[in-house]
Chains A and B, each alone.
Chain A
Amino acid sequence: MTEAVHEAPAAPPRRRINLGAVAPFLALGLICVLGAAANSRFLSLDNLTNVLARSTFIATIAVGQTLVITGGGLDLSVGAMAAFVAGLEILFLNSGLIENATLLILAAMALSLAVGALCGLFNGVTSTLGKIEPFIVTLGTMGIFRSLLTWLAQGGSITIRNNDIRAAYRQVYFGDLFGVPYPVLVILGVAIVGAFILYRTAYGRHVRAVGSNEDVARYSGINVARVRTITYVLQGLCVALAVIVYVPRLSSASAATGLGWELMAITAVVVGGTRLKGGVGRVWGTIAGALILEVIGNIMLLSNVVSEYLIGAVQGAIIIIAMLAQRGLSRNR
């Protein structure tokens, strides 16, 4: 309808490869090479399977955290929530309400998911409708959930009492499907579903929009409170899923269950390239981040170069290095 007035200047050449998205995988590969060099046992199938299975809890929770953080939120309560959900699940298993062991375990899993979702809903509704910083809300619920578990366990631990049920449930952590351990399938499944939600669905795009710029989302007619609340519910479901895989491993929950998981999950998310202030989420990066944390711990156990008591320090250093690397990458844009 109008004549061309002036050609816009050509776009700056785009980078072909998004280095920020690839970096966590490169780092993971590099660490694995170092691990193999440090100890030949590192590459054994047993060890790798063990590392993958152990990373399930953090990886699963961190995928939920990826959604929450991408939407501009934060959930510090995930570790305490895991302990609380685990305690309730074991109490339900001990109640023996259902005769059939398989059905009882399935019902316990369903209960865990329901409790996790409700815990997440509480976090979400309190922070969005109550207009309170998610940091504060989840700091509060972190205390509440952990204290509830301590109270339920009367300061001790809650353990699966029935040996048949314990044996049947053990399969969920130690069993496999065509040679692939269930926990590995859980990681894969959660990552695929998480990535699908975030990258393919309209909801996922709303999450990114809300985290990127809340005002733009609001002016575009997006219900910001609902979108955010759902991220917390999804986070709750992820925590419950992690618990479902975690409980059969030790068959017990105590005040020490899930201690520090929130920090590991957030570390995995940030190391994976998700932006802490929201808007950019990388589900597969998060998986890489969770694996990096677990692999480093594993290598430190296998080699004698650094004391394994320093695992926490090394993980702390990783998050700082990852942030510096991200900063460096975004500067080069």
Chain B
Amino acid sequence: MPEPSEPNEPQPVSNRPSAPLGPSQSVLEAVGLSRSFGPIEVLSDVSIDVRAGEVHAIIGENGAGKSTLMKILSGHLQPTRGLLKLDGAPVELKGPVDAERRGIVLVHQEIMLAPDLTIAENMFLGREARRGLTVDDREMNRRASEAMRVFGVDAPVTLPVERLSIAQRQLAQIARALTVSHRVVIFDEPTASLTPVETTALLRLIRELKAKGVAILYISHRLEEVKAVADIVTVLRDGKKVTTRPAADLDPVDMARLMVGRDLLALYPPRSSAPTGAPALEVAHFGAEGFAEDASFTVRPGEILGFSGLVGAGRTELFEALFGLRRGGGEIRLDGRPQQWPDARAGMLAGAVYLTEDRKSKGLLLEENLGTNLTLAALDQFQRGPVVDRAKEARALDAAIQRFDIRVGDKSLLAGQMSGGNQQKLLLAKMMQLNPRVVVIDEPTRGIDIGAKQQIYRFIAAMAGEGRSVIVISSEMAELIGVCHRIIVMRNGRIAGEVAGEAMTEHAIVVLATGVDAKVGDARV
């Protein structure tokens, strides 16, 4: 693949409409934007130009300034310096509402829907369709169904959002944003919790928006996706713009190098040969009420077993039931001994842990410091009598920061103040305090940047190297293929099949996951 020779050197790229990037009209332009929080400048002198009918991707590691830039462009934050131009005229966005009125819509990365309201109610929240004094539910339901059908979500729009999976919620949120009239749509990590099929639907939708002349800003960690959908790519690093280039001139490897500022090691660690010992964990005829049934599988010491499948296939629910976190039942054996795990504690005592996919609301106490989070599941190891041994806790935190390369300037930071990558490392460290023999990691790299991803893969390989059994649940097929010895694919709550070794291909997984032998490769390059 052709590699640019000096990837580190910021290249001056003209953003004037006369630049030979395309014939289309500039819609939203940022000129020399800077933003400081206190003494720290998180964005310095960034200029970009978003044009009608163009998908402009912003990439960069966590902390590179992407979110700050997005917040300024969507009116959530005011720049410290610099200005915005809409249709070539300087404009001041007074807030998100003002931005929306001008046709600039941000699709948030975090899900912001009221869980008790239905999909349709959420979609029209604050701008309900009315008939006289009452709301026109029939009309809203009709329009909501239409919007959801675009994404292939077949859940009835009268269902409370609470009953939806995270992916379905994400899609509902995107659909909600698009019910506002829009000229510029900003997508912030829209596919972080989507499976390939839904991602394909979303990318198709983005292409449709583009064809209609909408200007699109697209932020994603998934560089293949960026390559597939973007026309222009702007790379940010440490709050500064590194370059803006046509996507055609970059491949994912170049993008990663520009983001990181140096060559990346291979993304996946070398794979050990498949272990052959007696199974550590044996699960037979296990089910999760309403989500999964009759699942049987085993995993050996030192083995990395993947669980793939579409959203709603029941992977997460199966393992939550296994660990007593939701209703379900079946046979569990650990080293041949039958197990009963009515709650997470029982599994932990037996030597098995589950790391949730939902770091922010089920994994970490965001308003507590790192030490408290680190020891929470294993607090009995840090007790002298009834008292918490803070010195021992501090030592454990130092060790964890070292071992898992948690990057914090200040150890008294709260968990919620850290980047996604650091949170995932902390969650990993927290569960490793229990020294488990079976580790189940659900979506280990969701929403984290490529550098941290690479590290997480190495931690997973290292755990297996220590003789632990590791089960990785992931919607990213590439990472399962990259790290696992074997992959089990679920479909509609059942195990659809298994692939191992050379047979582990995205095509083989998709066939098992959908039950249809057709290419779904639209999302991929």
Contacts and interface: CB of A to CB of B under 8 A. Distances in A.
Q: How large is the interface on A (under 10, 10 to 19, 20 to 34, 35 or more residues)?
A: 35 or more
Nearest to A217: B376
Interface in A122-168: none
Contact of B344 (A2, A4, A206, A218): A218
B23 interface: no
Contacts of A2: 265, 405, 454-455, 458
Interface stretch (A195-203, A304-312, A314-322): A195-203
Contact of A220 (B344, B383, B462): B344
B345 A12 contact: no
A14 interface: yes
Nearest to A208: B368
Contacts of B364: 216
Contact of B419 (A8, A205, A218): A8
Contact of A5 (B61, B362, B413): B61
B42 A222 contact: no
Nearest to B379: A202
Given A6-B260, A202-B383, A213-B361, A218 B343 contact: yes
Interface residues of B, number: 60
A215 interface: yes
A222 B409 CA distance: 30
A202 B386 contact: yes
Contacts of A202: 379-380, 382-383, 386-388
A219 interface: yes
A314 to B, nearest CB: 32
Interface in B393-419: 405, 407-410, 412-413, 417-419
Given A6-B260, A9-B40, A10-B40, A205 B409 contact: no
Contacts of A222: 345, 376-377
A179 interface: no
Contacts of A219: 325, 344, 354, 356, 362-363
B422 interface: yes
A223 interface: yes
Contact of B409 (A5, A10, A215): A10
A324 interface: no
Chain A, interface SS category: loop
A200 B389 CA distance: 8
B253 interface: no
Interface in A200-240: 200-203, 205-206, 208-209, 212-213, 215-223
Contacts of B343: 218, 221, 223
Contact of A11 (B237, B347, B386, B410): B410
A259 B345 CA distance: 42
B105 to A, nearest CB: 26
A216 B383 CA distance: 20
B372 interface: yes
Interface in B10-44: 37-40, 42
B407 A201 contact: no
Contacts of A8: 62-63, 407-409, 418-419, 422
Interface of B: 37-40, 42, 61-63, 237-238, 260-261, 264-265, 325, 343-345, 347-348, 354, 356, 358, 361-368, 372, 376-377, 379-380, 382-383, 386-388, 405, 407-410, 412-413, 417-419, 422, 430, 449, 451-452, 454-455, 458, 462
15 contacts: A3-B265, A6-B449, A10-B409, A12-B37, A12-B38, A202-B386, A205-B388, A208-B368, A209-B365, A212-B365, A213-B365, A219-B344, A220-B376, A223-B343, A280-B367
Given A9-B63, A218-B325, 4 more contacts: A6-B449, A8-B62, A216-B362, A223-B343
Interface of A: 1-14, 200-203, 205-206, 208-209, 212-213, 215-223, 279-280
